């Protein structure tokens, strides 16, 4: 068995221990005589799986009692619609557009009300986070929306925006569980799990309970009402059972490895190895303003498209997978999520250093 170093932005690398455990339980989950894939979501066994997953997530993130945790389907994209449909009371929301995902969320929200773009970094290809200390927040805004870690561009909000008292909604798909978080600063935290937590197919929504309402527009689909999902504890219809089970295993793995503070420290160490190299390299350079750099997604370029392509091909042959940058940015991108071992980043930097020498730079 040869496992590669997988730098994919998502679906992405998962902890090897988790995969092995899941493999061992594949045919017979804890004496049930069946795989978790085969069992009823109404069974006692499965109820334990989903309840334990929620309890562990609550413990890891310190989620207060007045927040609901929902395990849903449909990806982050479905939330681009669900959020405005559920949260718009005045029909107004403010969006901070720091990348393609925030932009798509903003465009989707325009179907349901007035969605203001109150700040953007599109003028410089989303390579920085705009100053959000004094934005023109709409008096009627029902919420302010951010994409906290910009997967494609490699930027991260290290300071949350000043929302002037308005509720903050954050897409954390690509930084979920990468560091400790003060949940009480947010009204909604949500993300697809396929970046930093588990297999594609599960979307986690953490929402303050007072925002869960029943007085929504008639057109809102039953399944997209947070009320439906919250009342049924994510079991209104069939949830993504197997995916939730794997997420639960990752939560246990995180707990066993010191929780989110330890994860942040590991992630800082890994990112530093790569950023320090980029800052000293004569060939490669990072594309993001230093103070806004993500710990999870690290885009870089050589400045020569042919050389970039050569690097992607040669790195792949050497066992470093998925380093090609997003099609909208080009160059390279190394996603170094929680489950990427430090050795993977060290070996990547060694490889880049060799490549640089061979390129005569």
Ligand X SMILES: *Cc1c(COP(=O)(O)O)cnc(C)c1O
**According to CB under 6 A, which one of 21, 52, 73, 77 is a site residue for ligand X?**
77
**Strand, helix or coil at 285?**
strand
Nearest-5° angle of CA 243, CA 246, CA 248? Answer: 110
Site for ligand X in 118-147 (CB under 6 A): 147
Residue 173 within binding range of ligand X, rule CB under 6 A: yes
Of 94, 101, 106, 324, the catalytic one is 101
Which of 91, 100, 148, 147 lies closest to 125 in space, CA to CA?
Answer: 100
The closest alpha carbon to 286, from 299, 267, 274, 277, belongs to: 299
Distances (CA, A) of 220 to 82, 112, 223: 8, 10, 8
Least distance CB 107 / ligand X (angstroms): 13
Chain centre to alpha carbon of residue 207:
16
Q: Which is nearer to ligand X, 147 or 254 (CB)?
A: 147
94, 142, 167, 171: which one is catalytic? 171
Q: Which residues of 117-152 are buried (b: 16+ CB within 10 A; e: fewer)?
A: ebbbbeeeebbbbbebeebebbebbbbbbbbbbbbb
Residue with smaller CB distance to ligand X, 17 or 122:
122
Query: Of 91, 25, 60, 37, which Cα lies nearest the Cα of 238?
Result: 37
Q: Of 71-79, 82-90, 114-122, 334-342, which part binds ligand X (CB under 6 A)?
A: 71-79
Q: Of 315, 358, 312, which Cα lies nearest the Cα of 331?
A: 312
Distance of CA 55 to the CA centre of its chain: 20
Q: Does 76 bind ligand X (CB under 6 A)?
A: yes
CB of 86: closest distance to ligand X in angstroms? 17
Stretch of 136-144, 170-178, 267-275, 280-288 contacting ligand X, by CB under 6 A? 170-178
Q: How far apart are CA 118 and CA 113, in angstroms?
A: 15
- Site mask for ligand X (CB under 6 A), range 87-116, x = bound: --------------x---------------
Nearer CB in complex with ligand X: 14/352 = 14
Q: Which range in 117-125, 136-144, 166-174, 207-215 contacts ligand X by CB under 6 A?
A: 166-174
**CB-wise, 174 or 281, nearer to ligand X?**
174
Question: Given the rule CB under 6 A, which of 57-65, 73-81, 87-95, 298-306 is the region that contacts ligand X?
Answer: 73-81
CA–CA separation, 7 vs 9, rounded Å?
7
Strand 320-321 vs strand 5-6: parallel, antiparallel, or unpaired? parallel
Q: Which of 156, 166, 195, 225 is catalytic?
A: 195
Contact residues: ligand X, CB under 6 A: 10, 75-77, 101, 147, 151, 171, 173-174, 192, 195
Active site residues: 101, 171, 195
């Amino acid at each position: 068995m040869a496992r590669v170093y997988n730098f994919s932005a998502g679906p992405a690398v998962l902890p090897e221990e988790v995969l092995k455990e899941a493999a061992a339980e594949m045919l017979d989950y804890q004496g049930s005589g069946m795989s978790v894939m085969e069992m009823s979501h109404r069974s006692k066994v499965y109820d334990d799986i989903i309840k334990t997953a929620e309890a562990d997530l609550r413990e890891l993130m310190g989620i207060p009692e007045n927040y609901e945790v929902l395990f849903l389907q449909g990806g982050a994209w479905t939330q681009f619609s669900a959020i405005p449909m559920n949260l718009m009371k005045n029909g107004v929301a403010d969006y901070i557009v720091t990348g393609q995902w925030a932009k798509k969320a903003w465009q989707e929200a325009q179907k349901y009300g007035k969605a203001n773009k109150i700040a953007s970094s599109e003028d410089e290809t989303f390579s920085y986070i705009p100053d959000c200390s004094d934005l023109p927040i709409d008096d009627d805004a029902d919420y302010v929306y951010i994409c906290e870690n910009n997967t494609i561009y490699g930027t991260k909000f290290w300071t949350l925006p000043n929302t002037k008292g308005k509720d903050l909604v954050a897409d954390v798909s690509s930084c979920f569980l990468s560091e400790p978080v003060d949940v009480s600063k947010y009204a909604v935290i949500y993300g697809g799990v396929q970046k930093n937590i588990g297999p594609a197919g599960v979307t986690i929504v953490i929402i303050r309970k007072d925002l869960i309402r029943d007085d929504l527009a008639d057109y809102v689909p039953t399944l997209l009402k947070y009320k439906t999902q919250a009342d049924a504890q994510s079991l209104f219809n069939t949830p993504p059972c197997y995916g939730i089970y794997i997420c639960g295993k990752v939560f246990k793995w995180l707990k066993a490895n010191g929780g989110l503070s330890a994860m942040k420290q590991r992630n800082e160490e890994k990112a530093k190895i790569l950023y320090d190299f980029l800052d000293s390299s004569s060939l490669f350079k990072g594309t993001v303003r230093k103070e806004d750099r993500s710990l999870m997604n690290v885009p870089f370029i050589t400045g020569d498209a042919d050389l970039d392509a050569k690097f992607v091909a040669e790195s792949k042959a050497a066992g470093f997978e998925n380093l090609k940058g997003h099609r909208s940015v080009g160059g390279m991108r190394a996603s170094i999520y929680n489950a990427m071992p430090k050795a993977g980043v060290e070996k990547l930097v060694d490889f880049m250093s060799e490549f640089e020498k061979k390129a005569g730079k």
